[in-house]
Every structure is written in C-alpha cells, then in structure tokens.
Structure 1
Amino acid sequence: MQSHTHQHAAQRQEKHQHALNLGILAHIDAGKTSLTERLLHSAGVIDEVGSVDDGSTQTDSLALERQRGITIKSAVVSFAIDDVTVNLIDTPGHPDFIAEVERVLSVLDGAVLVVSAVEGVQAQTRVLMRTLRRLAIPTLVFVNKVDRRGADPERVLAELATRLTPAVAPMGTVRDPGTRAARYVPYAADDPRFTARLAELLAEHDDALLSAYVDGDAAALSFGGLRDVLTKQTRKARFHPVFFGSAMTGTGLDALTGAVKELLPAAAGGADGPVAGTVFKVERGPAGEKVAYARMFSGTVRVRDRVPLAGHAEDGKVTAVSVFEQGAAVRRDAVAAGQIAKLWGLTGVRIGDVLGDARAVPERHAVAHHFAPPTLETVVVPRRAADRAALHAALTQLAEQDPLIDLRQDTLRQEISVSLYGEVQKEVIKATLADEFGVGVEFRETTTICVERVAGAGEHFEIIDTDPNPFLATVGLRVEPAPVGAGVEFRLGVELGSMPYAFFKAVEETVKETLGQGLHGWEVPDCVVTMTRSGYWPRQSHAHAVFDKSMSSTAGDFRQLTPLVLMDALRRAGTRVHEPMHRFRLTVPADVFGTLLPALRQLRAVPHTPAAHGSAYVVDGVIPAARVHDLEQALPGLTRGEGELESAFDHYAPVTGTPPARPRTDHNPLDRKEYVQRVTRRTRVG
C-alpha cells in the first residue's frame, strides 16, 4: 500500500513538471468566462457548462459577480490536457478592474486573448494586446461567438491585423457564421493558400525561412516544415495564431485546446533550485486569516517552512499549502516550481511580495505596473458615524486585495479617500462593504487625480541651530525635473561619511513621502532630489552619562526638517499641475456627426480628422479623463443610441487656467508656523 501511495505521488510530481499557467483575457462580454467553463467541461472537470447569466460558473464565485454577470476578481482553476496540468486564470474584462489583470500578468506562461466575432476589437482588447506583446507573453487569439447573429469572422480578422498586430494568421475558417450551425474547420496541412500566407508572415522573423521562401523551397514551405517555426515564434510572442469558435456550442474548442498544449511554453524552473516565487493575489479566509496566491518559479516550499519575504524584517512561516488540481484547490505538503499555490501563515504578506530569492524570479515575471494607475478618486463616508472605525478596518482589508485603491487618510477632516478606475468599481466597493463587512457607505463626487510636474530647478537649505530652523539638523536639497516615467531619484551631493547613515536614510524616505503632496496637493512623480548640505550634533551626555536629546541630533530631526526644506526648494523650482487625458474612438452615424462636434468641444475634447466607414464616421481624439463619463452619458441622446465610444488613459497634459488643488492630509509644510506647531506637539505627546 505504501509503495502504491508513493507511485501516485511520483505521478503527480511528473505531471507538475509539465505545468502551464494560462491567462484568459478579454474586453468585457467577449465570452471569456464562458470559454473557461467550456474548457473545464471538455477536460472532464465539470459535468455541465455553467452560465454567466444564471450565476453558475466555476470562476465567478463572489455573490456580486454572480449577480452582475461580470468577473471582478481573478480566479484560478486547473485541468489537464494529456500530461500538461493547466492552471487557468480567469481575469476581469471590465476596464474598472484592470489592476486585477495587471497582477495576473506576472505569473503567466501564456495567454488566450478572447475577441467577440460580433463586436470585434474593442478598447480593452487593444490595451491588453499591447501589454501582452510588450511583456512578450506568448498569446493565442480566440474569436468567440461565431454562432451569434452579426458574427463576421473575416471582418474581425482584418481588425486584428490592422488594430492589434499584423503578426496574426487564422488557423482555420468558419462555416455558416452567425447561425447556430456555425462550425470551425481547421485549414488542411496541404492547403497551399494557408501555407503560403503562414510562410510569408513567419519569414519576417526567420532568416532561414525567408531564404527558403525566396528560393521557393517546397519542403521548407510545407506545413510540416513550418510547424517548428510556428511553435518557436508563438512561444517567443512574435506570432499569434488565430482560432475561431463558440464557447456556447463548443465548436473550435478542440483546436484551441490542442494549440494551448502544443504552441504555448510549459512553466520553466527546477524544484531543486533556490526558493523563488511572487504573490499576485491576497484574500481572507473564513476566519479572517490571510491567504496568499503565489506562483513558484524555482525551488519547493513545504508546510512549516520559514520563507524569506523581500522587504520584510521577519521570515513568514507556511502553515498550510493548497495546489490546483482538476478544478479544485487541494491540500498538499508542498508546492514546487511551475505551480500556483494558496499559502497560509504569511501574516504580513502583501501583493507583489517576492518569496525567497528575488534573483531567481525572471525579469518578465516581476510584479510591476503595466497599465496606467487609477485617475479618479472619491471620499467614502459611513452612513452611521459610529461605523467610522469599522469602515477604516474594512477598507484596509480591501486595500490588501487591491493596493491600487490607495487609501488616503485625512486625519484633519476625519475622511478616507479611495482611488478608482471608474464608476462600476465604486458600486462594487459599496456593495462589498455592505455585504461582507456590514458597513453602509455613501460616496462624495468622483474627482480626477492630477499630478504635479517640476517646472525647473530649485534649491534650499537650513542650518542647524540657526533661525528659523527649530530642529537639530542641517539639510540642503536641490529639486530638478526628470523624464516622464523616471520616478523619484534621491542623490547624495555630500560625503556619505559626513554623518550617520540612518540620518541620510531618514532624509531619503521623508523626501519620497513628502512628494506625495506637492505645492497644489498632488503627487510629484518624476524628479531628481539631491542632498546638497548635511550636518548634525553628535550624541551628547551630561557628566552623569545620561543622554540629552536637547543637545543631540536624531533621525527624527531630519524627518521633521526635510519637508520644510523640500517644499521651499519646490517653490523655487515651481510645479505645474497635469490632468489625465484619455484617447477616445467614436463611431457614429454620418448624419449626426456635425451636431456631435460642438458637444465634443464643450467637453474639451480634441477630435482628429474623421474617417468614413460606410454609413458611419469614425473619429479619434483626446479628452480629459474628468469628462469621459459626461461623454458616455450624453452619447445616446446625441446619436439616437447608435454611437459607440471606446476610451483609455493615454497621457497627462498641463492644465490650462487655474490649477485644481487637492486638500492636504499631511502637517502642511507649506505653512511653517502651523507645521512646526503640529510636529512639535506630536513629538511632545509621543
């Protein structure tokens, strides 16, 4: 009996050597969750295909997801294709939940991008494909809903090539599209038009194939000769095979499943290497305990192991492990490289944490910001004043699961703000607080999150024991602009040995914290701050050897002085407020285009030259993020309900006129008297 058990364990381990972590991504309503259901059914994991409309799907497990028929949280479910164990991750399609998609990208070996055969390429489709290609994630395209009325596979294929990437080619065709009888027919290996088109596209990235193409080498240009090149280029994300089908009827699913196994790369990494993994999701268990979802890239983590967490002072101790097998999370003694697991016991764990050795995590898989941050925010107000503390605790827990909601506590006004991608996310937060925490809330008006960019160079310093400096520290800082996206860089323009390292560290940390609120209250994202002066009083004692704070500098002196110096340097440099801008694409009936232009101008939109598409006009342009919702509301009335709008964040642009200000939540270093009173009062109380 014992040997039989070991044999099964060995078989499971063998299976895990062929793991594939697969993401299903799409614009909302393309049928991504239905496709997940069909894949699970085909693999024998579930007996019946669940319905999004009926709320009976495997991956939409939240009550709110079932009620709304949308995916809000990423979900992991597993199935087998022969000897490959696929960990399939269903992600949200609604743009308000793009942060959930962002975290999943860091754990994927490959992806299936789902596109509707009716609606075609949409705003979110383009955002997702751009990111998948930038991160070089091997991606198959599945054109779903070929059985729906209005399905037009040829039109969608043309859109894929013109609006996503020319590196796409169909692997088959659809008979009777737009009817319940629609079926996918793979191209035959000896179809000359298919192999010629495939060879032409693949030759763009393969010199040997290009030579064969020019020379007319029939053997190299046959499908048998092209198969290896197709696999290699797909796995390098240089080429994207396109499949067609229907998640409802199941046509095309066999071809897609075969391609997942043959064309996408299995997870790499050895179970015997150093422990390395990343946490991409955190949730709370029934007893309130933290549960971390981690993708392992190297090594093995076992129950009762102590695991280093990058950036944490103490290791975490794993108390339980679940891995995903045949549709469910199953308790196991360990999780090995290539697998995704749920880990218990890591009490301080956060999304983005690296388990073990960060050097063993491939660069592409490091959790990073691939999409634009939220551009909206709102104040959350409890309906009952007595729920204020409960609201803070509940929002803190939600921020663990989605760090980008970015809680902003205003202790002066006793208010909490959250960052948002859109109005739907606001509704979900409200429902979650009521359903899961029993806290009823209302929201203030949604406002736009701007940024402040440094306009020039500015410098200021204050000397120890010299008016008006009340702190035992000398700090000099110079602020200069940096390129967009560069972040905040702190440099030393003084000798590192001129004072204790802890004092330099205190200045650096305070600089980065203080730049969260610039002259107008907005974050200052891209600049270089150089420390130009430093000075301190060394530790002083009385004759009886008692430490005297009044005669000795501490890190607190540097933390308290730095905001005053930095803000004065920032005043000299000057800042300019920039607002987020969305790129939009409007499709409207040609006869209403003329009446639409004045409305666009009123919303401060800048349309480009329109293009005629049959009886419709298509116009691109940019619009302030603050006015996108207004345009969405006005569009049906302006276009008889026939207008279609796509929009996505594009860039920040300078605000014209009076710059908007954001209420400060710090001790206001712009007002020296008020600031000094507050920090010295806080110090005395402490």
Structure 2
Amino acid sequence: MKRLNLGILAHVDAGKTSLTERLLHHAGVIDEIGRVDDGSTQTDTLALERRRGITIRSAVVSFTVGGTSVNLIDTPGHPDFIAEVERALGVLDGALLVVSAVEGVQPQTRVLWRALRRLGVPALVFVNKIDRRGADPEGVLRGVSERLTPAVVPMGAVSGAGSRDARFTPFAAGDPGFTARLLDLLSRQDDDLLADYVEDEAAVGSGRLRAALAAQTARAAAHPLYFGSAMTGAGVPALLDGITGLLPGAGGDAEGPPSGTVFKVERGQGGEKIAYVRMYSGTVRPRDRIGFGAADGAEEKVTDVGVVDHGAEVLRAPVTAGRIGKLWGLGRVRVGDHIGERPAASPDRLGRQRHFPPPTLETVVAPVRRADRGALHAALTRLAEQDPLINLREDGPGEMSLLLYGEVQKEVLQATLLDEFGVRVAFRESTTICVERPVGAGAADEAIGVDPNPFLATVGLRVRPAPPGTGVRFGLEVELGAMPPTFFRAVEESVTETLRQGLRGWQVVDCAVSMTHCGYWARQSHSHGTFDKSMSSTAGDFRNLTPLVLMSALKQAGTRVHEPLHGFSIETPASTVRALLPVLAQLRAVPRDHRTRGGTCLLDGTIPAARVHELQRRLPGLTHGEGVLESAFERYEPVRGEPPSRPRSGVDPLDREEYLLHVVRRV
C-alpha cells in the first residue's frame, strides 16, 4: 500500500482544520464533521485550542483512500506558532496549502510557501471557501500565480462562486483548453515531452500528460490547484484524487537499519514522555533498544509503540519505514533528535537546520504567588520539551525568561500554565532580542600553577569574527592528543554555554573560537590507591576556567550589538503613500522600492523588528483601512546610538572575584 505523510498548512482562518475534518469524513473515518467554533474537531484536542478556535500544536490523523494510506499533519496557522510548522516540515512527503477564496494570498501564506520552496516539498494548493460571500476564485488564482508561483495548474472551474450552490467541476482529460495550458506549462520543464508533441501531436495523450504532471509535482516543479469548500464538500473528491494520484509516496526499506526523526514530544496522562517519530528506514518495535540524539549518543528501551491507522491509535504495532509513530520510554529524547542512524533521505530537510527566522521577542515570567516558584520552573521545563525555541533561562529567584514569536503566544502560555499546571503567572512587557558580534580579534590564556589561576588546567583561547550566519565555531590550534578528549569536550561545551551572554548580556553569534594553549596534571593517587583530586586535573577545572579566559579574550576583541531587522511589504492605495512615508521615517523604516499598479502602490523596505507592532497598529488609520502589511525577519544590523544591555543570569565571569567566590564555594 502506498503511504503518504501530508502536511496541511495555511494562514490562520483559511479553513485548514475544517478541511481536515471534511477529508476524514469523506474517507469514512468520522461519521459527523466537527466544527472549529464548537470545539469538536479531531485535531484540536487541547482545551485551549477548542476555546480559542485555533490550532496551537501539530496533530496527526490518518485515513485511507483507495490504495493510499495518508498520515495528515494539521499544523498551526497563526504566525506566533510557526515553530510547530517548522518541526513538521522536515518529515513531509508532500504538503497541501490552503488559501481562502475570500482573503486570497495572505502574509503567512507567503511565508509558508517560501519555506516549502526552499525545502523542495511537493505541494498542492486548495482554494477554500468558494461558497462564501465575496469569494473571487479567478482573482485568487491570479494572486497565487503572481505572489507564490507561476507554475500553478488549475485543475477545474468554479460555478456559482459566493453562494451555497458553489461547485467545482474538474477539467475532463480531453478538454482542449486544459490540455493546451497543461502542455504549455509541462513542456517548459520537459524537453522530451515538447519534442514528442512537435513530432506527433497525437502521441501526447491525456495519460502521458497526467504522468508528466505527477512527475513534475513530485519534483515541486508544478503545483496543481483545486477549488472547493470544506463546509459543503465541494471539490473535495477531486482534491483527494490529486493527493493520492499526484503526490509522491513515502519510500524506505522496512528491513534496513532503524533511522528516523523526532518532530514532536508531548507528555501522557501519567507524565511520561511520548515521542512522535517519522521513520525513514527500518522498524521500531516494543522492547527494542535504540540510540537517539546527536551529542550524547543516548540509548534507551522503547516500552511501547503506537501508530495512527484509519483514525484510531493502534498500540504495540511496529513503526515501519515511511510511517509516523509514537514511542514511549525514551526519557531523554528531544525534539529534533534522530532515531537510530542519521536519516540519509532529504538531508536538507532534517536535523536542526532552521527553515524560519528565530524568535525576536523576549519576556520575563514570574508566578503571582511566591509559593509557586518551583511549580513554575517544572511547568516551563516541561513546555520547553515541546517547544525548544522558547529557550528557557533562569534570570533570578522565581523569574524566568522566554523567547517568543508574538503576543498571542504569550497569552497562550499564560492560559496553558493556569489550565494545565494550576500556576497563575504575570509577564513583563516583551523586549526585542538582540545579538552581539565580535568586532576584532582577541586572545587570552591562563596556565596551571600561575597566579591568579586557581584551577588545575591550562586554557588559551583566541576569538575572531566569523561570516554572518555561521553561529559559533570552535577549533583547535593545539595537538589533538595533547589532552584527554573529555577535557577538550569540556572546553568546547563551556565556550558554547558562555557565549550565550556576551559583554552586554546578548548571545554572541558569528564568532570563531580557537584553543591556543592547553595543559593538565595527570591523574595522581596515593600509595594506597586513593584518587588525589587536589593534584589531578578534572573536566570541571576546564569548565570553570574557560569562561574567565573566553570573556577576557572577548573583551579584548570587543563586540557590537545588532538588532533584528524585518523586511516589509506594504500594499496600499497610491493616494495614501504621502501620509505613510513620514510615519515610516519616524519608525526608522527604510523604503527600498515602490511600484504603482493602477491605483495601488507596492512599497518594500526594512524596519527594526521592535517597530513592526507599532506600524501594524497605525497602518489602518493611515491607509483608510485598506493597507496590507507583510513582514519577516531579514537580518541583524548594528544598533544605532547607545546599544541596549540585557540583565545577566547566573554567575558573571566578567566579575572575576565574584565568579571565583561562587565557583570555588560550589566546588
């Protein structure tokens, strides 16, 4: 049986979850279609999702159509939960992008499409809500072609748009207009098809065109587009034919070595960890011992296994290549870990590579009741397992900071902490996340037995700027055999941890750190065989000394604070541009280009991330409610004027005396 792991993506309120319900109903998985407004859908299982009517966590459901078994992953549509979408993208065989026939291509639609194109995920487009008043199928088709991709193939025509009688009629295989348009599109990517058509027009029949369309869809070179309505079911049978006939199935050898990727982690009713894994090769069964993770090479026993089959969860069923399953018993597993061998399939989609920009907001959360400090820490630690990008850190007694994509995410976290953990919290005002980059080069070293070094370790480090986007790179300028590997590993891990807070408290990025000096005292013992720690170097000596040496080198190199910059695009009536430009200047936005088309002006440029919310708030009044803003993280740029600082957490290696007092006392 053909297997397909399909993601369904959309801008919020485009009807994605309703379409999921309709697909499940059509496949016979459910008898009655749930409604988002009523909180009765299959995929929105969280109480908060049912109350708010939005998808917050990705959910997996399964159905079978003909000879194809589909695992459908319903992803959030709100941009504040883009991290959930990112985790799902790496495990997909294909995607279904839902666009509203009323609102058309929206900002989040374009963000999602760019990610699909970067990853080469085959995708179909479904234009939903053709029965809604104001539906404009032709206008949306033009918008998809102009703003997403010109390689879009409308697979049928709409009649009665904007009414409950709206219908979608697929083009017949012999329809001359459809054949001509399809041939024109496909021949641009297929020289053999074009040559055969020129030589003998009759040789290129509907079967040949259908096969060519499926091949180009699988390569993400063509994108079939369907119209319909999730509410009435119009167009859904044709869409299912496209899903099963045009998207490629999952491959993989069930007899090969186990290999998969964990894309979601949740907790069961008893508090146990449940890992959602997409298997690319091999099979995982209950009681198997499997390795996972990249850094520590952990290996644990799988206590139970479950798969979703035709809408129901089947326990103790093996997870074979091409399937998505749930694994119990892996207590140390994290989102992004690989299971067994690192997957070889689609390596550009897997691992920890980022497909969306990082969060650019930070907030501090504290319990309303001081007695809830411990409970808050435990709750946030558990939530960080499900969403590692919140990047939890402790700022002080009872206070913790989190990274966010937006204010709605903050509201959801607040409600989740109260509903699921019984902890009432308060958030401070969100601030923009900056980074630090080294300005020049700096070096420092400290040797064993030489004051003021109190540790049994010699560490020398050189810091240099690295190309933008490279993060932190660690290298050696000493012999690899000069010390035990555990000591080198301790230095590297300490470097990475220390650079989470630079000279002004921001994370240091695009930095190359080289180890220039090393030394240790070998293991010593007394005549009766006991270990003498006072005369033997340990990994702890290197972990404790490295922050002091590194920050000395960083001070010598100097750093510059950079703030996140968003690229923006505003579509507005041309008559409003004169009033809009002074406001953009006030918000430190820099227009790059503007184009006028008819009575509409398209204005592109950049704006500091901290000012995007203000622009969103003021745009409707400046454009008579007709302005549309799209923005997305573009790059980091040096801060103008006095650079902001961030309060440090933990022990500060820039204050040597206080650092040593704390570390020596702890040791």
Please, what is the CA RMSD of the aligned residues? 1.8
**Which aligned pairs between 1:74-89 and structure 2 lie closer than 5 A?**
74-89=58-73
Tell me which residue corresponds to 1:238.
221
Q: How many Å apart are 1:534 and its aligned residue?
A: 1.2
Sequence identity percentage:
65
Note if 1:55 corresponds to 2:39. Answer: yes
Partner of 1:648: 632
* TM-aligned CA deviation for residue 421 of structure 1: 0.3
Q: Aligned residue for 2:367?
A: 382
Secondary structure at the residue paired with 2:202?
coil
Q: Which moved more, 1:217-226 or 1:507-516?
A: 217-226
The residue type equivalent to 2:166 in the other structure is A
Residue among 422, 425, 438 paired with 1:454: 438
SS in 1 for 2:630: strand
**Offset of 1:455 from its aligned partner?**
2.0
How many aligned residue pairs are there? 665
Letter in 1 for 2:236: L
2:82 is the counterpart of 1:98: yes
1:119 aligned to which of 99, 103, 107: 103
Moved over 6 A (4+): none
State how far apart, in whole Å, the 1-side matches of 2:465 and 2:148 are: 34
Show the counterpart of 1:396.
Answer: 381
Question: What pairs up with 1:298-337 in 2 under 5 angstroms?
Answer: 298-311=281-294, 312=296, 314-337=298-321
Q: Which runs of 5+ in 2 are unaligned?
A: none
1:345 aligns with 2:329: yes
CA contact (8 A) 2:307 2:317 kept: no
> In 2, are the aligned partners of 1:301 and 1:335 still within 8 Å (CA)?
yes
TM-superposed CA distance for 1:365, in Å, is: 4.8
Change (3 A) 1:544 1:294: closer
Contact kept, 8 Å, 1:380 with 1:441, in 2: the verdict is yes
- Whole-Å separation in 2 of the counterparts to 1:271 and 1:637: 59
The residue type equivalent to 1:354 in the other structure is H
Letter in 2 for 1:281: K
Question: Which residue of the partner structure matches residue 193 of structure 1?
Answer: 177
Indicate how the Cα distance of structure 1 residues 20 and 573 shifts in structure 2: closer, same or farther if over 3 A, else same.
same
Q: In structure 1, the residue corresponding to 2:194 is in which secondary structure?
A: helix
Which range moves more in the overlay, 65-74 or 329-338? 329-338
Does the 8 A contact of 1:220 with 1:226 survive in 2?
no
Check if 1:255 corresponds to 2:235: no
1:570-625 deviation line (CA, Å, top 9, x unaligned): 12222211111122222334433322222222221222343334444332222111
SS of aligned partner of 1:281: strand
Contact 2:293 2:333 (8 Å CA) reproduced: no
Matches of 2:332 and 2:455 in 1, distance apart?
A: 35
Cα distance between partner residues in 1 of 2:160 and 2:60: 34
1:464 and 2:459 are equivalent in the alignment: no
Alignment match, 1:373: 358
| Greater CA drift, 432-441 or 165-174 | 165-174
DSSP 3-state at the match of 2:444: strand
SS at 2:517 equivalent: strand
State whether residues 172 and 243 of structure 1, in contact with CA within 8 Å, keep that contact through their aligned partners in structure 2.
yes
Give the secondary-structure state (helix, strand or coil) at the position aligned to 1:205: coil
Partners of 1:271 and 1:362 in 2: CA distance = 17
Task: Return 298-307 or 382-391, whichever deviates more.
Answer: 298-307
State the shift of 1:364 in Å. Answer: 4.3
Q: Give the structure 2 partner of residue 662 of structure 1.
A: 646
The letter of the residue matching 2:318 is: A
Instruction: Report the Cα distance in structure 2 between the residues aligned to 1:674 and 1:361, rounded to whole angstroms.
Output: 50
Of residues 92-101 and 466-475 in structure 1, the stretch that sits farther from structure 2 once superposed is 466-475
Paired with 1:44 and 1:164, the residues of 2 have a C-alpha distance of: 33
Amino acid at match of 2:15: G
Q: How does 1:626-645 map to 2 (within 5 A)?
A: 626-645=610-629
Partner of 1:3: none
Does the 8 A contact of 1:611 with 1:618 survive in 2? yes
Task: Check 1:571–1:212 CA distance in 2 against 1; reply closer, same or farther (3 A cut).
Answer: farther
Farther off after superposition, 89-98 or 578-587: 578-587
Residue 274 of structure 1 corresponds to: 257
1:435 Cα shift? Answer: 0.5
Shift of 1:647: 1.8
Change in CA separation of 1:227 and 1:424 when aligned onto 2, cut-off 3 Å: same
Identify if the C-alpha distance between structure 1 residues 611 and 277 changes in structure 2 by more than 3 Å, giving closer, same or farther.
Answer: same
- Deviation sequence 1:401-436 (CA, Å, 0-9, x none): 11111101124x542001100000000000000001
SS in 2 for 1:358: coil
Residue 572 of structure 2, aligned match among 572, 579, 588: 588
Residue 563 (1) aligns with residue 547 (2): yes
Task: Identify the range of structure 1 (437-446 vs 518-527) with the bigger mean alpha-carbon deviation.
Answer: 518-527
- Higher alpha-carbon deviation: 305-314 or 330-339: 305-314
**CA-CA distance at 1:360 after TM superposition:** 5.1
Matches within 5 A, 1:8-23: 17-23=1-7
**Deviation for aligned residue 1:194:** 2.0
Which shifted more, 435-444 or 473-482? 473-482
Amino acid at match of 2:460: G
Counterpart of 1:245 in structure 2: which amino acid? Answer: G
**Deviation at 1:46?**
1.4
Q: 1:421 aligns with which of 397, 402, 405?
A: 405
